[in-house]
Amino acid sequence: MRKLAILSIAFSAAIFKAQAQDSVYIHKDMGVSLGLTQGIAFHSQSYLFNKSKISLCCQTYTQGMYLRRYINNNIALETSIVYGAIENKMGKTTLLSLPLTAQYFFNHKKKLRPYIGAGIIYNQQKTTAAIVYGTDRPGTMQKTRNTNLQLSQGITYNISTKIEINESIHIVPKTLNNCSEIGMEIGIGFKIH
């Protein structure tokens, strides 16, 4: 977690330094980007927008792959597949998320492009019990699925016309087991069209 936060701060500082030296940078055809991400998600039992104290119940390290289609200089559609796993004394849980978001990019004439996004996310969770817990016996598997709203904000930095670096933070107000989720991802993308 600490390494990811330090990497995020260093990335943001480098981007803002580059932004100060940035020249006009316009893509005629924004095209399609395909990229890989590494991230972390924090799950909280208390409702995210409630004024009550947020209690952290778990964190998940994630890996993913995204596909972003630019509609024009300011609007893009993005879908991804994100996988994470947690293993503790209670058992093993695997998480699979499939978000689909529409993104609005600001500053389309620069290499540094902040954005906001909103969309839906499909979550699937599989848990295999390691110990007796409630009515579960060791080896018992439970599967939970749901679809929720996802809000995001991020920064894309175009290193060149073919390579982009992304940093994003997403919020899912209610996920599996009535948990809310806040996640952060860092990734690299390649223009494929």
Q: Are 47 and 180 in contact (CB under 8 A)?
A: yes
Q: What is the pTM of this model?
A: 0.72
Provide the β-strand partners of residue 140.
none
Cα–Cα dist 115/108, whole Å: 10
Question: pLDDT digits over 90-112, tens only?
Answer: 677 788 999 999 999 988 778 89
User: Which has the closest alpha carbon to 123: 94, 155, 146, 150?
Assistant: 146
**Bigger pLDDT: 171 vs 136:** 171
Q: In the prediction, which pLDDT does 177 show? A: 58
Domains and CATH numbers, the chain: 2-191 (2.40.160.20)
Diameter of the chain measured on Cα atoms: 62
Tell me the pLDDT of the chain averaged across its residues. Answer: 77
Token readout for 131 is 């110990």
Cα–Cα dist 50/46, whole Å: 8
